[in-house]
Amino acid sequence: MPQAIIRNQLREGVRRCGERGLFHSTKWYLLGLEETEPINIGDFPFLDLNTLELAESEVFQEPQVADRYQLAKSYFDLREFDRCSYTLRDASDNKSRFLKLYAKYLSGEKKKEEKNQDIMGLADEKRILNENVSEILEDLEPLYLVDELDSFCLYLYALILLKKNMEQKAVDALVKSLNKYPYNWSAWLELSGCISNQDTLEKILPELNNHFMAKFFVTHTANELHFNTELIQQDLELLLCLFPGSDYLKTQKAMHFYNTREFDEAEAIFDELIEKDPFRLDNLDTYSNVLYVMEKKAKLSFLAHNSACVDKYRPETCCIIGNYFSLKGEHEKAVIHFKRALKLNRKYLSAWTLMGHEYVEMKNTHAAIEAYRRAVDINTKDYRAWYGLGQTYEVLRMPYYSLYYYQRATALRPYDARMWCALAGCYEILNQDVEAIKCYKRALLGSENEVIALNKLGNLYKKLDQQDTAAYYYHLSLKQTKIQDNHSIDLVETCLFLAYYEKKRGNFKEAEEYVTEVLKYNGPEKEEAKALLRELRNCTKASNALETPIHSRTVY
């Protein structure tokens, strides 16, 4: 039965990853084991279970070698990485080689973090590197060239290449590793991190074996990069048929709804996940973002309290508490918690970005720029950091800088109207009205009902003295404002323009309707509207008086 094959392969993946200290992969596959259901193989054409290439025998021939490996692994589990590496110093098989060098790599990472504890302080300016990377590369490079590395050593080799900024070679090594053995989720995540756009993804996919793990990889990457949203939905639904109770897939679905700003749907899925597992913290930082945007202060407070009870010193918990204080307007306390999250995990992208937002609120633009730059250094695909940099430089009245950063944000979120409206705003500041119009029209591709873009287009065409086009966009913006009950635009200015426009065309009744709308608001325009209304009524009377003789002659 196909489901039996999948379960056995997942169990084998759990064992192999667990024995090598890849705990994230181990947890991921164990969660998958709980959720497999009986299936019809014909319903899943991508489910080619024959592509799995078995690695070399993992059973040590000599008991002493096996005992030494178990001793080293116990040191690894206790985070005594140097002892683990030293214990396996003479090992020559791939399994022992991986644990030895991986322990050495983690030892270097641990020491690097210990030297660099100051978040955004003077000591934090120094770029401290992992001192063991070059040594590990020297061990692995010759073996790679003669094709003697197994899939896990290839994964480690790719990690080292990425540390050396040799991304293309790392991608080649990761593809080779995953084709040899696809049940290493950590390798899939590293490969996903190397992909910056849809073209790169489409180029890599043909090089990978046709395995269902590749489908997980595609949905994860597409979700991270915010593209092809309909395709994400289709793939998620397909995988949910295979793993109907998968918390991971449900989380991905919630993340997809968050990215598409469907917050109610995202909230419902996160509520379901928490009800099923009340002690989970994974991805709850995103859930706190959802509650923050929806301004559900009580629910966010409850989430922050529960998360602190589960694990006070998890980065996700610190981020959730930071969001709670931010929603309360206590920005200094929010910064403290985001910094605490970064001390626990310096590469925690959300914390850098959210801390940048808080510094903007505190009007500390220098610190905001630094926080956003750190986020971009970690992940150049984070549109929020690019957008934040654009906003910060806009506050500093440096529109050319803003222009560059907003362009980066639009490249990452091509269907997000907010990015295009921000970019258009910069062009307006620079008096490049034609470019601004292009951007506002591009914003409408992401949302035809974008009221701000429609109104801005009306303003720009009015400025360019293209009255008919301006009226067209003002009509649309007014219509959408009423439908959405959205009063984010200047209704008075819009209605006055349309009143004069309809008057000029002789449509006095329509013009009077627009003037009536203006009279609902207090302001200097109210007197102008009253005068215009009197004028329109006089015009209507005059028009009726002219029409009366014509009707009389028609009767007789």
- Three-state secondary structure readout of 265-293: HHHHHHHHHHHHCCCCCCCHHHHHHHHHH
The per-residue pLDDT for 155 is 97
Confidence of residue 291 (pLDDT cuts 50, 70, 90): very high
pLDDT above 70 covers a percentage of the chain that reads 87
Domains in the chain: boundaries: 53-181, 346-414, 435-555
Q: What is the pLDDT of residues 295-338, one digit of tens each?
A: 999 999 999 999 999 999 999 999 999 999 999 999 999 999 99
Q: What is the pLDDT of residues 54-87, one digit of tens each?
A: 444 566 657 888 899 999 999 999 999 999 999 9
What's the predicted TM-score (pTM) here? 0.84
Q: What count of residues does the chain have?
A: 556
Residues contacting 422, CB < 8 A, separation 6+: 387, 390, 391, 394, 402, 406, 409
CA distance 108 to 128: 11
Place of tokens 């873009």: 453
Nearest to 246 by CA among 225, 220, 224, 227: 220
Nearest to 391 by CA among 368, 411, 375, 362: 368
Q: What is the pLDDT of residues 445-489, one digit of tens each?
A: 877 668 889 989 999 999 999 999 999 998 888 888 877 666 655
CB 116 within 8 A of CB 129: no
CB 428 within 8 A of CB 463: no
DSSP assignment string, 313-328 = TSHHHHHHHHHHHHHT
Confidence of residue 228 (pLDDT cuts 50, 70, 90): low
Confidence of residue 120 (pLDDT cuts 50, 70, 90): low
Taking all residues of the chain, what is their mean pLDDT, rounded to a whole number?
86
Architecture of domain 435-555: Alpha Horseshoe (1.25)
Distance of CA 33 to the CA centre of its chain: 28
CA distance 466 to 463: 8
Give the lowest-confidence range in 43-57, 60-74, 390-404: 43-57
The per-residue pLDDT for 507 is 80
- Comparing 48 with 147, which gets the higher pLDDT? 147
CA distance 354 to 320: 11
Check for a shared fold between 346-414 and 435-555.
Answer: yes
Residue 134's SS3 state is helix
**What is the token pair recorded at 404?**
């560059």
Most confident stretch, 34-43, 51-60, 411-420:
411-420
Instruction: Answer yes or no: is pLDDT of 555 > 50.
Output: no
- The DSSP H or E segment spanning 334 is helix 331-344
Architecture of domain 53-181: Alpha Horseshoe (1.25)
CA distance 283 to 294: 17
- Give 346-414's CATH code, choosing from 2.30.30.220, 3.30.70.580, 1.25.40.10, 1.10.1740.10: 1.25.40.10
Residue 117, amino acid: Q
